[in-house]
Amino acid sequence: MVGLTGEPLHILLIEDNESHAEIVIRSMRDQQLANTIHHVADGEQALDYLFARGVYADPVQNPRPSLVLLDLRLPRVDGLEVLRIIKTTPSLLRIPVVILTSSDAESDIATSYDYHVNSYLVKPLDFKAYSKLTTDLRSYWLGWNVNSPAD
């Protein structure tokens, strides 16, 4: 899938669990998408990527994401804090953020929506169900959904 400009869409996957990250990456690659997946393993790396700092300063190698997939329980900077920063930063707030987490705690869900998350998904425990979730996620957010224009 490509964006309205014909360019590949860029997904920023923020996930500290390598097994979970691999499921998402494999599922999207198995669908032969033209998308690029950029994976970071903690909240600090995510913010560095989003603000083009340090090793993520090159916009060609690390383009602005079309979609952020965000786990909540992250080392260094918690996922809720990453979400809060994204949604309070004018240059980032239009990027769709989907929480993809194992937490079904009401407080996490409520806080995520208070911080203007675009969607909240709980990771299934079953591998096949998790793979289907990523397929459906890709279809909706990268196929059917029309994103706001970038700033």
Tokens of 109: 């869900």
pLDDT of residue 34: 54
The length of the chain in residues reads: 151
Q: For a pLDDT cut of 90, what percent of the chain falls above it? A: 60
**What domains sit in the chain, N to C, each tagged with a CATH number?**
10-142 (3.40.50.2300)
Q: Pick 32 or 145 by higher pLDDT.
A: 145
- Give 120's pLDDT tier (boundaries 50, 70, 90): very high
Whole-angstrom distance, CA of residue 28 vs CA of residue 72: 21
AA letter at 33:
L
Whole-angstrom distance, CA of residue 100 vs CA of residue 118: 11
Residues 85-105: tens digit of each pLDDT: 999 999 999 999 999 999 999
Is there a contact between 70 and 103 (Cβ–Cβ < 8 Å)? no
Full-model pTM: 0.87
Tokens of 56: 């993520």
